[in-house]
Structure formats: structure tokens, C-alpha cells
Structure 1
């Protein structure tokens, strides 16, 4: 017969055995690691980038691609390359191509003028009625200026008048618009439009396209 002391000892051993079995069950469920639930890595989900393009750094001319556009009239067709994705709501002699966000634009006026490019630079400068107007350049048929638009804030415009008769008259005006921080990109767009511009040449006329 077991004494009370022996009975107490057996109960203690039985309790320890149950505890070990229970612990072993937890280990098996957790794949051999009792702390697996705490060691599992936490998945960090990065926010998706905004679909709205950022314009804080200005227009990057090096990243632009171009496509040929035709305008003018049937009798006097004109063509030039404009940035891909910039659309015009009208053709004819005064098309204006605007980027999808509305920040930048490129406009042509192919009606021509009997006035010289320098005269048209002076006329345009006098006609601009904008707040904080500041003219940065007015030489060689090019007008560069900044102003403040009530709705869009600081803006920049570059207008070039192109002559085909050594400056006696003007054939085409090309204007680009954006913001002051876009100046390098706007100059690139203006130069590319000038370089790719093709105008009709009358029979017997030796002027270049």
C-alpha cells in the first residue's frame, strides 16, 4: 500500500508528464518552433504610385518623343514635329498643341506677316497684358517672357518669328508656353519645331523649306 507521501509524488510526476505532452503538441502544430507565430515576417505593402505625373522638376526636353503633324491649308500645307501625346483641337493656320495635363503648349501661326520678325517682337511685347510681366529676351526674332496667371500662377512664354527673306517679312510664328522651371524643356520643344518645320515653296522660289 502506498503511503500518502508516495501518492503525492506520483501525482506530481503525472502532472509533469501531461505538461510535456501538451508542449510537444504545440511544437508539432507550429512546425517544430513554439514561437513561430511571433517570428513570422510582417509583410509591408508599399503605396501605389500616383497616376498623376509630377511636374515639380520642370519639363525634361531629353525625354520627349516627337510625331509629325500637318496643318496650314490645302494651298499652303505646313508640317512640323510636336511632342508625342500633345493634341490640338483645331488644325488650319493656327493650331495649338497641348499636353494631356494642360501644363505645356505649342502653337503655330502660319498666316505670315509683311512685318519683320523684330517688328513683331516689339508689337507682341507691347500687347501682352499680364500681371508681373518680365521680358527676358527680345533679340533675333525671339521673345522670352514670364508673367503671373491668375489661375495657374507663374508662367513663361517663348515666341519665335521665322523669316524666309532675310528678315524682310515673317512666314511663321511658333510659341511655346509653360512655367519658369520648364525653360530648358520649352526651348528644346521650340527648337525642334523650328528644325522640323516645312513650308510650301512657290514655283521658282529658291527659299529653303
Structure 2
């Protein structure tokens, strides 16, 4: 016959067994984490759930993030220079150089051959010649064509093409075009304007420009 002391000890052991069983059931339900369902993870504990990576350039090209370096191109006897964003690499030299950022999202290119046509005439001609899906002409002010289209591989794109005149708009000395995405417009405008402001052209010694 059990004494009162033995009976109390058996009741204590039974209670502990039930508690362990309940705690084990909670762990099984919560995947082994007793804090599941709570956001207050203790400091020093790393959450194992993956964090979605941000989309590169998701907010667009920001003007304030750009620094510039001088690029020289053209020909040996008629060199041209302008400042382009630092880190954008030249993929084509000579009279039609092209500079591309490391990710391939943004570009600036120059055409130093010039033209006997006025900037406005070249704006109209370029707008008529672009054969891209969903092409839309945004503006044609001050010898600059702003447009958008959809590229089959890269999706929505934006281009800004400017023709610079050195004789009061009678002819065009150089074309500067920048490209990116619609959300990059502010940065693209900055790149285009900076290239225009820092542009240095050779002194003309004869008109050899094409029509």
C-alpha cells in the first residue's frame, strides 16, 4: 500500500510527463520553433527566411549619383571630346563612339560626322525613320527628339537624340544620343546635357559634312 508521500511523488512525475508531451506536440506543429508565429525574433538570431533581392536600377538613373570623366574620340586630325559618366566603357571608337554602363542598361553615343541639315530637320527625319514597336514621340524641342518604344528583349526603352549646331542652327555639327528606360528620364537628361555642356569640337577648316 502506497504511503501519502509515495502518492504525491507519483502525481508529480505524471504531471511532468504530460507537460513534456504537450511541449513536444507544440514543437511538431510549429516546425520545431517554439516562437513560431511571433515577429520578435531575439537579437542575435538570424532569420533563415530568404529576403527578396532588389531589382537593379529599379528606381531609375538618378542624376545625383553620376560622376564624369573626359572622353576623346573622332579622328586624329579632328578630335572631339566630351564628358561621359565614369565607368561607362567605350564599345566603339572613331567618329561614332558609343559608351555603355557595366550593366548594359544605359548608353551614350556620338556621331561626329555632322550634317548640312538643320537640327530640326534631322529631328523630323529621325522620328520618321524609327521602326520600333510602340514607338511614341514625346517631344521635339530645341533640336532634341525624345521618344519611347518597346524592345523585344529589353522591354520599354527611352531615347533622347540631340543635334548640336555651331552656326546658329543652319547645319548640325554633332549628334548625341542617350538611351535607357522610361524611369531613367531624369538621369538621361542629365547625361545628355552634361555631354552638351562639356563638348569640345575642332575648328572647322572646310565643310566636308554629308547632306
- Tell me if both proteins adopt one fold, taking TM over 0.5 as the criterion: yes
Deviation of residue 41 (structure 1)?
6.4
Q: Following TM superposition, by how much is the alpha carbon of 1:43 offset from its aligned partner in structure 2, in angstroms? A: 2.7
Which residue of structure 1 aligns with residue 127 of structure 2? 125
Distance 1:169 1:41, change over 3 A: closer
Shift of 1:75: 1.1
Whole-Å Cα distance in 2 between the matches of residues 91 and 48 of structure 1?
42
- Counterpart position of 1:85: 87
1:1-209 to 2 correspondences below 5 Å: 42-44=44-46, 54-202=56-204
Q: TM-score w.r.t. structure 2 length?
A: 0.73
The C-alpha deviation readout for 1:44-70, integer Å capped at 9, x for no partner, is: 2687996x8721100001110111110
TM-score w.r.t. length of structure 1: 0.74
Higher alpha-carbon Rg: 1
What SS class does the counterpart of residue 92 from structure 2 fall into? coil
Deviation at 1:202, TM superposition (A): 3.9
Residue by residue, what CA displacement relative to the aligned partner does 1:12-70 show, whole Å, maximum 9, x if unpaired?
Answer: xxxxxxxxxxxxxxxxxxxxxxxxxxxx96532687996x8721100001110111110
Secondary structure of the residue aligned to 1:67 is strand
Residue 136 to residue 73, structure 1, CA distance change in 2 (3 Å):
same
SS at match of 2:175: strand
Q: Distance in 1 between matches of 2:122 and 2:188?
A: 20
Q: What SS does the corresponding residue of 1:159 show, helix, strand or coil? A: strand
The answer for unaligned runs of 5 or more in structure 1 is 1-39, 204-209
Unaligned runs of 5+ in 2: 1-41, 206-211
